Amino acid sequence: MSIRLAGLFSVVALLGLSGCASMSADECAMSDWRAIGYEDGAMGYSANRLGNHRKACAKHGVAPDFEAYQTGRSEGLRQFCQPSRGFNLGASGGRYNGVCPSDLEPEFVDAFNTGHKLHNLQANVNQANYQINAREDELDRNKARIRQIESDLISSETSAEDRILLLVDLKEAAERTGEIEAEIVNLVEERAVYQQQLDQYEAMIADTNY
C-alpha cells in the first residue's frame, strides 16, 4: 500500500505543476524539443501542451520543433500509459484526457477506473466523517447554549418576563439537541456502510499489483 501512496503523491505533484508557466527564456533558448516532448508525454499532458510552449517561447523569439516534440511525447506517453499510473491517477481524483495510444489504452483505462472507484469510496467515508464532526461541533455548541440558558434562568437578575423567553429558548435548544444526536447516529451508521464498502473493495483489488 505504501507503493500506491507514493504513486498517488507523485501524481498529485504532477497535477499541481500543470498550472505553472510552460517554459522560461533559458529553457526556450536551450530546448531539446524531443526531451521536452518526452517529459510532457510521461506526465500525461495532452497535445495542447505544445501550444502552451509555443506561446511561452514566442515571447523569446523561439519556435518549437514540432516533429521532435511529437516523437518525444509519443515515447513519453508509453511510460505514462501504464496500468499503475492509470490507477494512481484515478485514485488521486485526477482526470484522464484520452492521451494513451490504442494498444495501451484499454489496460490503462481499466486501472484508472479501478482507482477512480477507490477514490469515490474513500470520498464517501471522508464526507461522512466531515458531517459527523460538524454535527458533533454543533452539539457541543448547543449544549453550551443550554447550560447558559439554565444559568440565566436561576439568576436573581433575570426578570419573570425574560424567564418565559428563556424557557422557550431552552425548549428549542433541547429539541435541537435530540435532532442532532439522531443525525449523528444515522451518519455513523452510514459511515459504517461506506467503510465496509471501502474495505471490501480494497481487499478485492489487493492483488491487482497497481
* Contact indicator for 158, 152 with CB cutoff of 8 Å: yes
Kindly give the interhelix angle for 83-91 and 2-17, rounded to the nearest 10 degrees: 70
Q: What is the pLDDT of residues 45-85, one digit of tens each?
A: 998 999 988 888 888 888 888 999 999 999 999 999 999 99
What pLDDT is stored for residue 61 in this prediction?
A: 87
Confidence of residue 1 (pLDDT cuts 50, 70, 90): very low
Q: What is the pLDDT of residues 119-159, one digit of tens each?
A: 999 999 999 999 999 999 999 999 999 999 999 999 999 99
Region 97-114: mean pLDDT is: 96
Residue 12: pLDDT over 70: no
Burial 39-61 (b: 16+ CB within 10 A, else e): bbbbbbbeeebbeebbebbeeee
| Placement of cell 467515508 in the chain | 125
Residue 26: pLDDT over 80: no
Angstrom distance (rounded) from CA 11 to CA 192: 29
What pLDDT is stored for residue 18 in this prediction?
A: 39
What pLDDT is stored for residue 22 in this prediction?
A: 64
- Alpha helical stretches, state H, 81-104: 83-91
The C-alpha cell of 62 is what?
523561439
Region 7-22: mean pLDDT is: 42
| Placement of cell 451508521 in the chain | 189
Angstrom distance (rounded) from CA 170 to CA 60: 71
Q: What is the pLDDT of residues 156-210, one digit of tens each?
A: 999 999 999 999 999 999 999 999 999 999 999 999 999 999 999 999 999 888 7
Confidence of residue 93 (pLDDT cuts 50, 70, 90): very high
